[in-house]
Amino acid sequence: MGPEFARLLVCVAALLSASQATAAPLEVGFAAVDVTPDLKTSGPVYLAGQESNRRAEGVHDPLFARALVLADGQTKIALVAVDSIGVQYPLVQQVRERLPNFQYVLVGSTHTHEGPDVIGIWGPSPSQSGVDPKYLDQLRDGIVAAVQKADQNLTAAHAEYGTAADPTLLKDFRLPEVLDPVLRTVRFKRADNGKTCGLLVQWNTHPVEPDGNKQITRDLIGVAVDELEKRQHAPVVYFSGPIGGLMGTPEKRFLDADGKHIAKDVYDFMRLVGTAVADLAEQALAGAQPIELTPLRVSAQPTMLPLANQGYRQARAVGVLTRPAFAPASGEADRGTVIPPSQLDGEQLVESEVAYLRLGELHVAAIPGELYPELMYGEFQEPADPGADFPSAALETPVAKILPGPKILALGLANDAVGYIVPKRQWDVAKPYAYGKKSAQYGERNSLGPDTAAAIAAALAARVAEAQASQ
């Protein structure tokens, strides 16, 4: 089983029971809960995503946990999107413990860079965590409450699936330039009156994250969600897809004929970009076609990922990163012994999760970090640049190829935030650097290591195989 180990999970039981039953009609419920920290009563709130020691000074717009609950009479699952840099797996496990009536709960993060540090590395100094444990409690409680409220709103519904592509709305800030320009959406319509009762949206970009901004905000994603909710008169749950690489917004799309910025200021820029995302979503909705989403099946397993990054190991040693690391297991039933944070050498692993959700005709990959778009469709540069560290490494199997059907969602930062998931052939920390560059391109220092992508691809393939075997 490679880096994985077998462990029985409730979701496997759910998978088996769901496969044996004829599913009842789909039910869906939506709800959102405010998870903005209270700056008046909290200590300093360190904003995640840019330089460290960036203290929040105000709230431009509130952060939310947005939940969508799906039920088919046998199985009930929740998909939650949180306005956060990246909720970590241990918190997701706490959420699940509080929701025992759900066969599966997926918690994804929108990746705003203007919300509280929930990982640790953006504190007042390199040796001090930026995480306020009280905020983690608030976040956990908010996610749980959003799911419970959505559960109360369950109503019989039909679903439609639509996509629309716009490569002019994305820029890859790292060579080679590869995009996932496809926005994917699922629209839910009430079975009784046909009215839209909620939307799920997956789009693939970083926030515009104005430099040095100290206001809490959902960034362009907040604009896109608010705009869509206003236009469609229905709640929206937004997930970030393959945003590694690094996916951001091209300035040139938002310049006037004289080459001047159309936006008056950074918040106006967020508004313009977010509105363009909402426009793209409406384009996807315009072509959406009915899709069967039942029966609901989930295959999810803890997945051990190699922790090669020395920076992360050092952050563990000084207490800035607190999640456990493990020595390699001796056998499949063993998850490996916990390694003391002070240990810097030797092989180390972190526990994360890769999941495959088979929702009727829809195939959903739950990827625990920021996937490079190359790994979505297999658009690898061939041959790799000889300056890269492993130009002849094996190519990873792309997500779209692993998923056994054309109607897909690729939810990134799902249940964890392990950083960038980089194709091994692009890994480039040693001289000479690829593309003749004088210094390494940005990415690797926020990645677990060069073998993360292969481990995640293998885990996803195993989850798909498991789900297919249970049919």
Q: What is the 3-state secondary structure (H, E, C) of 380-435?
A: CCCCCCCCCCCCCCCCCCCHHHHCCCCCEEEECCECCCCCEECCHHHCCCCCCCHH
* Only segment of 101-109, 365-373, 395-403, 448-456 that touches Zn ion (CB under 5 A): 365-373
Minimum CB distance to Zn ion, residue 65 (Å)? 20
One symbol per residue from 318 to 357: x for binding Zn ion (CB under 5 A), - otherwise; what is it?
Answer: ----------------------------------------
Measured from the CB atom, the residue of 138 and 441 that comes closer to Zn ion is 441
DSSP single-letter state for residue 12: H
- β pairing state of 182-190 and 196-203: antiparallel
Measured from the CB atom, the residue of 61 and 370 that comes closer to Zn ion is 370
| Encoded tokens for 307 | 């922790």
Minimum CB distance to Zn ion, residue 238 (Å)? 16
Minimum CB distance to Zn ion, residue 370 (Å)? 5
Measured from the CB atom, the residue of 370 and 396 that comes closer to Zn ion is 370
DSSP single-letter state for residue 24: P
Owner of token pair 């994305």:
170
* Only segment of 76-84, 150-158, 280-288, 363-371 that touches Zn ion (CB under 5 A): 363-371
Other C-beta atoms closer than 10 Å to the C-beta of 439 total 7
Q: Which of residues 367-396 bind Zn ion (CB under 5 A)?
A: 370
Contact 208, 248 (CB under 8 A): yes
Minimum CB distance to Zn ion, residue 245 (Å)? 9
* Only segment of 131-139, 155-163, 366-374, 449-457 that touches Zn ion (CB under 5 A): 366-374
What is the number of the residue whose Cβ is closest to Zn ion?
A: 370
Measured from the CB atom, the residue of 42 and 50 that comes closer to Zn ion is 50
Q: What is the CA radius of gyration of the chain?
A: 21
Measured from the CB atom, the residue of 151 and 370 that comes closer to Zn ion is 370
- β pairing state of 338-339 and 182-190: unpaired
SS3 150: helix
Measured from the CB atom, the residue of 132 and 370 that comes closer to Zn ion is 370
Give the number of residues in contact with Zn ion, rule: CB under 5 A. 1
Separation between Cα atoms, residue 252 and residue 205, nearest integer Å: 16
Which positions touch Zn ion (CB under 5 A)?
A: 370
